[in-house]
Amino acid sequence: MKTVVGVAVVEDGRVLAAYRPGPEGGWEFPGGKVEPGETDEQAAVREIREELDLEIKVGESLGAGVDISAEYRLHVYLATVLSGDPVLREHSELRWFAAAELDEADWLVPDRPFVRELRTRL
């Protein structure tokens, strides 16, 4: 099974989320597919650089992966910003959520178990 990484970028007790537009849209942890020869951590750094123009340090996993299709499994990792300010490139909106605000968001279904875990860590 192939891996997709999501990245929960945390800063000052808040997490950065990105909104994917469209009929199947909703809030998600930004990220993308792990390319052949890459580790999850390398893919996370590359994807966040490409999507948000941020340099990050990847931390621990937010738990077991979640199948998002017959071919792909999503893994979400905590990360901190080393440099940069988030730039909106591939999503319709970016937002910093405090722990108390996480329930308010319309999260994509595969991201929801990670949101629950993240709430306990913020």
What are the tokens at 104? 């308010």
At the fourth CATH level, which superfamily is domain 2-119? Nucleoside Triphosphate Pyrophosphohydrolase (3.90.79.10)
Low-confidence ranges of the chain (pLDDT < 70): none
The reported pLDDT for the residue numbered 24 is 85
Domain ranges of the chain: 2-119
Query: Which tokens belong to 54?
Result: 């941020």
Question: Which CA distances in Å does 4 have to 12, 13, 42?
Answer: 26, 25, 12
Helices (H) and strands (E) in the chain, counts: 2, 8
